[in-house]
Every structure is written in structure tokens, then in C-alpha cells.
Structure 1
Amino acid sequence: MKTITFIFLSLFIAKGCSQQQKEEMKNTSIEYQAMSRGFYLNILAKDKELVVVKERDGKPELRKISSSDWNELSDLFLKIKPEDLSKFKVPSENRFVDAAAIANLRVIYEGKLYESESFDHGNPPKEIKDLVNKIISIAKIER
């Protein structure tokens, strides 16, 4: 009986923590931006919605994010520490010679702005690679 009670309480507590973290995501915004001379992309994810702008001074497209995509995006975000975003090592430097668009990731979490170092579009730091790729795939943007 103690074992069953322990398992039940463990699941209840784990679900409660997970649910609380998901609630925090309602006040979190994640913005991915990539640009070069002939390319512009801005994707803003917030509260199960996505705003996509594909050209400078372009018209924003509002899209709903499915619950499964939002949950996956939330899980990927919660795996990183926003305060470490600027510390992640960039894997390549093609943006310095116009071989790749300049990209960055900005997060507003708990009222604070966190921003990554600039990196090559299509080649983010490994710590945020899955998160960036998920944002791009939800926006249905070809890399």
C-alpha cells in the first residue's frame, strides 16, 4: 500500500511541477530572427501563437500553434537556462563573410530579456539547436 501511495504522490507532484512550468510559458516569448542583405525572417512564439514576418517591413502572419507543438516547444525551452543563452558557443562563423544569414534568439522570460550571441542561420549553438529548429519547423520555413 505504501508503494502505491508513493507512486501516486510522485506522479501527482511531477505533473504539478510540469503544469506549473507550462503555465509560466504563457508569459514567455521566444523570438528567432535571421537576416542578410537579401533575406529576412522574424518568428515570434508566444502563448500558442506564432507571428511570422518573411521580409523587411513585411506583413506579419499570425498562426496558431497546435497543443502538441506548443508542448514540445515548451519542453525544449524548459531544458535550457535563459540566463545562459548568451554564453553558448557558436559552431561556425560563415555570417562574417556573407555565407550565412546572421541569426539570434531572444527570450523574454519572467519579465527579463535574454539574448543569444549572433550565429549562422541554419547552424545554431548545440544547446539551442532543437529549440531553434522546432520554431522554424512550426513556422514551416525552409532552411
Structure 2
Amino acid sequence: MTATQIEYSAHSRGYFKSIVVENKSVSVTKERNAATVKSTIDDAKWNEITTAFSKINLESLSSLKAPTDKRAYDGAAIGNLKITKDGKTYETAGFDNGFPPKEIEKLVNLLVDFAKE
């Protein structure tokens, strides 16, 4: 996964979060115009991320269906998963933050955990 970058972002009018994972490091930004906190990912967590990532079909990422629609009426921030691998970018359609499509749920939850620490 050395040539792979995984980014999860969630935003609404009053909410912003960005989590970028690449080369066993993670960068977390919790507010617009705030400093980004960068840290190293331990081997156990990295293995969990690579396992969850390996189960995702990148070609179908853009066609995944969101299980809920709270973002349509400001009931949830808009979540988005973007993966750049070998120079090609794959991206989901927007989904409710906290309610990702089941196909990417494990990976998204692992990424969101970094923002809780």
C-alpha cells in the first residue's frame, strides 16, 4: 500500500473533519483552517487498515449506495471516502457521516477512530 493514499472527510456548514492515511502515517484535521496533527500508525492498526482496504472493490466505489439520507436535510454531515492508488483516484458519492455504505464501513470506522484519539 505504499503508493496508496486513503482520505475520509466529513463536512457540513458547522462541521469539518479530514483524515488522511498514507505510508503508515495519519494526518487528522478536526476544524476548517485548523492545524493538522500527524502521527505514526502502529503495526497492529496498520494491518487492520490494509486488511479492510484489501476487501474493497475500488472500481465500484463510486456506485455504492448510502444506507441513510440524513445529509439531505442537514441531519448529518456529508461523508466521503477517496482512495488514490497508483495515480488513479476512486471516490464514493456522499453519504451520511457515521453511516457509511456497508462495503466500506470497516475501513471508514478504522479511519474515524484516529479523530477520536
TM-score, structure 2 length as denominator?
Answer: 0.96
2:69 equivalent to 1:93:
yes
Structure with more of its chain in helix, by fraction: 1
Structure 2's unaligned 5+ residue stretches are none
Which residue pairs with 1:68 in the alignment?
Answer: 44
Structure 1's unaligned 5+ residue stretches are 1-24
Report percent identity of matched pairs.
Answer: 43
**Distance (whole Å) between structure 2 residues aligned to residue 60 and residue 140 of structure 1:** 11
Could you list the per-position Cα deviations for residues 24-46 of structure 1 after superposition, in whole angstroms to 9, with x for gaps in the alignment?
x0110000000111110000000
From the CA coordinates, give the structure whose radius of gyration is larger: 1
Could you list the per-position Cα deviations for residues 51-102 of structure 1 after superposition, in whole angstroms to 9, with x for gaps in the alignment?
0000001101001111110111001001111111111111011001000000
Q: Which of 42, 46, 55 lines up with 2:31 in the alignment?
A: 55
Equivalent position amino acid for 2:105 in 1? K
Equivalent position amino acid for 2:71 in 1? R
TM-score, structure 1 length as denominator?
Answer: 0.79
CA RMSD of aligned residues (A): 1.1
Q: Which aligned segments of 4 or more residues in structure 1 are displaced greater than 2 angstroms?
A: none
Which residue pairs with 2:116 in the alignment?
Answer: 141
Which has the bigger relative contact order, CA under 8 A and spacing at least 6? Answer: 2
Q: How many residues align?
A: 117
Q: Which of 65, 87, 94 lines up with 1:111 in the alignment?
A: 87
Which residue pairs with 1:124 in the alignment?
Answer: 100
